[in-house]
Structures are given as structure tokens and as C-alpha cells.
Structure 1
Amino acid sequence: MARYTGPVCRLCRREGVKLYLKGEKCFTDKCPVAKRAYAPGQHGQNRKKLTNYGMQLREKQKAKRIYGILETQFRRYYEEAERQKGIAGENLLRLLEMRLDNVVYRLGFANSRPEARQLVRHGHFTVNGKKVNIPSYEVKVNDVIAVAEKSRQSEKFKALAEVATTVPKWLTVDKDKMEGQVIALPQREDIDIPVNETLIVELYSR
């Protein structure tokens, strides 16, 4: 599946906020956003005031980059969100949050969403006892996501199991068993990403 493979810190600098794409590095003084809080490139320090369209575009780009999704797939998520009952913007964020790679990250089994995506692709997780290696797999309420039996002895997961994790209220986690469960659908107040989803809806409604 297609994905962005370039330097991810440039993405954070372009958006002007931390998107937490590099895990622990994002919380240190080495974070490029903290050192160079302007867009990359020759004219990065000469940014002009954004138009309404520019603001809408930037919100869409932030959401895509946070969840590691390219344009065609993101558009499909939006179209599905629009078909569902309720507010399209909130539906969109809910669909993105229910991706398996995001849930793995939210449960604390990866330091970042890109790392969670890679771990899922390599077959380190099961859903309801069955191995799933598709990062975009949509988990459902009551699904149990667990570290695969063969992966539990790796130093990576042993180290993560020892780190205290605060999970959103729509999830529960048992680090001793190396598993978590989806207990409810995420609500907007549970989704702590710096995105104004209303602007994304306005962009696609143009």
C-alpha cells in the first residue's frame, strides 16, 4: 500500500505543529519543530497569510499526515463519513481513529503511528485471536487487539509493556496480557489531534 517515505519532520515543520510522527524524538530538544519553527525550503520563513482555501487545505494535509494516509484513501474515508448519519467531520475522525494501526498506537504498543503501521504490516498483532497485517483494518466495538504470541518475547514489546500508558476512554489495555479492547466508539472530545475537521468538510464541499 502506498505511503509517504520522505523525511517526516519536514511535514511537521510545514504544518507548523508537532504531528508526533517520530515517537520519542518529538518530546526532546532534537525535534526540528522546536529548533526551526517555520516551513522547510528556501522561502519557509516568508510565509504569507493563508486564504480560506489555504486554511482548509492545511487542515486536510495535517489530518492525512497524522494518520499516514495519502489522498485517494483519505478521500474515500471522507465519502464514507459523509454517507453515515451524524456530523461528517466527526464521522471522518472516528473512521480514522478506528484504523488498526491507530488503535495499536493509542494502546501504547508503538511509539508513533508510523511505527504502529510497520508493526502491523509485519504481523505482530491479532484481532480477536486472528492475525491481521492490514494497517487500515477497521476495528469494531468489543474487538480485542493483542500482541501476537510469537512477538511477546521480543525486547521491543517487553520494553513497551513496562511503560505506563494512558489510553483514551474508548479503549482498555492490559499490559501484562499485552492486549487491549475497544469498548466504545470514540467521540470528538476523545480525539486529541490538532485538526479542525469542519474546514476539511468545507474543502471537500467546494
Structure 2
Amino acid sequence: MSRTSRSETVRVHVEEQDGLIRLLAWASILGCVIFAAAVILADILVPNNSMIADTISDLGAGKYEYIVDTGLYMFSAGLLSMAVLAAHVHLGDWKWSSAIVALIVFGLLVFLIGARNEYGDADSDGWVIHRYLVYGLGICMPVVCFGMAEGAGRAGAGYRLSLRITGTLWLLAAPIFFFLPTDVDGLYERGLGLLSFAMILTLARLFLKRVHHRRT
């Protein structure tokens, strides 16, 4: 083999698929919507429930646990859809790649929280890992926000600012949850959930706008 042939670089044509981008972006949005609807429905149906005092984990135990579990599974699917989308439309360097991995882990952790069914009911059988799964969520969220902020900024400064604000608010607010009295932690947890929605919706809007601008 000649030196020229050994040094040749294989060129691969990479093309973004608009249909796939739309599908994954709307799947991530739908995951947020269904999760929010599931929590609201559980708040209505679960007897003696208080959305201020009772956490989402409390709603995920008992007779109506399937409602919140379904919401968690759909939110997990939305997170994984966003991870696939961010890999398909890679806008950054190693930080963006790290954020993709964090999104995958985030989605899997949410799925495990629903599948383990050990929250809200004082479960002590076997290895109880709910708290560790929650810690993992707390770590993944800022990794995604800050890891994708710079790359998102290439599509518009507003996306970078939104992700950085969301990540900063999470870093400041999330640790407080573990020190709150149980009569208010439910409402606070729902607020943290809205931050995770803000992250997903910011990224989904970025990708949908990208397709729109290319089409116009």
C-alpha cells in the first residue's frame, strides 16, 4: 500500500434528517407533558393527598401508583429521545458529548425510579436505592445544562443563557430539598421538576427552530 493511500481520509457525508429531528423533539416535549399530566391526575385521584406536603414519590406508591409510573416512563423516553437528537445534531465538543451521556443516564435513572417502586411507602426490603437514584438525577441535570450551553449558543445566545440560568438555579435549589420540612417538600419538588422541563423544552425549541430556518 502506498504512502498516499495510507494517508487518505475516508470522507463520510453526514446529513441531518429533518423528519427525525422533529420526531425526537416532539417526543421529548410529549414526555414532559404526559409526566406533568400524570402528576396532576394523581394529585386529584389519590385520597388525602396534598400537593404541598406530598412529593411525587408519595404519589408513586399505593393504589394509583401506575399513574405516576406511566408519567415517569414517558419522561424517561423523552429524555432518551433528546439524547439521541443531541447526538444526531452534535453542536459542540467533548462537553456536548458528556452532556449526551448525562442525558442518557438521566433517562435511565428516571426509568429505574419508576420501575423500582420503593418510594413513598417505607420500603426496606432488599437494597433500597431510591435516594441514590435521586442523587444521580441531581448530578446529571447541571452536567446537561452547562455541557450543552456553549453549543446551544451557536444557534442563539438566548439558548445558552436559558440553559445556564436553568443549571445555576438547579445547583442552588436542588440541595435545599433534602433539608426541607416534609410539610412543604412536595411543592418544592414540583418546582424542581419544572426546571428539568425547562431544560428539555429549551433544547427541543432549538432543534425545531433549526429545522424551520433551514426550510424557509
Q: Normalized against structure 2, the TM-score is what?
A: 0.28
Q: Normalized against structure 1, the TM-score is what?
A: 0.29
Larger Rg: 2
Structure with more helix by fraction = 2
Structure with more strand by fraction = 1
